[in-house]
Structure 1
């Protein structure tokens, strides 16, 4: 993450943080300020969507916006493309840069928390920093 301009501070989430709701409570942030990194296939190509924990990706609608069929990547492909386990995927640090879109709904939060790339880890960031360190594009998921 340091190579991409992020300070690189990854912290271990409290043991009580067993899911998104518990993580938000432990970090004392709104659930909507948690970033879920999700790998999809746009046609045959892997992409990364950084989505607020309160949003669900409508694959039909989002695929139409991105000009192709969109399906969730199966777990074995998630690991291949990111080098990280589903559920703990960081927005950066993958073997190859994935085309990335960032949920515009995250822009309303001064502080965001994203997975750190291994189970139970998170890091603090912001919407603008996510766009910068991922070379991502904003995407309206509403």
Structure 2
């Protein structure tokens, strides 16, 4: 599929992948990949090989808040208290759909690790490293792309963290 055939949000992600030299091409799929099990079924991989892009609102020590992106294995649920401690924030709360769109320019269920209007502090679930190929959302609930763990960490400018 040509980049010009992709939805606008996915074109932004494809351009970010190209600029970073990541070889994975965005794949458009007819079925929804809004959830990790849906995405895994669509591309034929274990659910743990899906990198869920989850936006949280971090409360900092000075009571200010900021969005943070956790790239989490589809096989995991985030332990928010433990993860907040590990990344050095007072607390983490789920972002609202409006907060997700403001931080990423993308809707829940299709948030890519890149292509956001401004950088978002990012952490990557260390258990994703167990998979030689990871699939991440391509900016919409109907687009995905393959990437290696090291490429994902580098592309997202992320740091690794244990989220369970």
Q: Could you say whether these structures have the same fold, taking a TM-score greater than 0.5 normalized by the shorter chain as the test?
A: yes
Contact 1:33/1:113, CA 8 A, preserved across alignment: yes
Match of 1:86 in 2: 108
Match of 1:24 in 2: 40
Contact 2:51/2:72, CA 8 A, preserved across alignment: yes
**Pair 1:121 & 2:143 matched:** yes
TM-score calculated relative to the size of structure 2:
0.81
Q: Which has the higher helix share?
A: 2
Q: How many residue pairs are counted as aligned between the two chains?
A: 142
**Structure 2 alignment gaps of length 5 or more:** 1-15, 60-64
Please show how residues 1-142 of structure 1 align to structure 2 within 5 Å. 1=16, 2-7=18-23, 9-15=25-31, 19-43=35-59, 44-68=65-89, 69-142=91-164
SS in 1 for 2:39: helix
d(CA) in 2 for partners of 1:23 and 1:96? 26
d(CA) in 2 for partners of 1:118 and 1:8? 16
d(CA) in 2 for partners of 1:125 and 1:76? 28
Contact 2:53/2:70, CA 8 A, preserved across alignment: yes
**Structure 1 alignment gaps of length 5 or more:** none
RMSD: 1.6
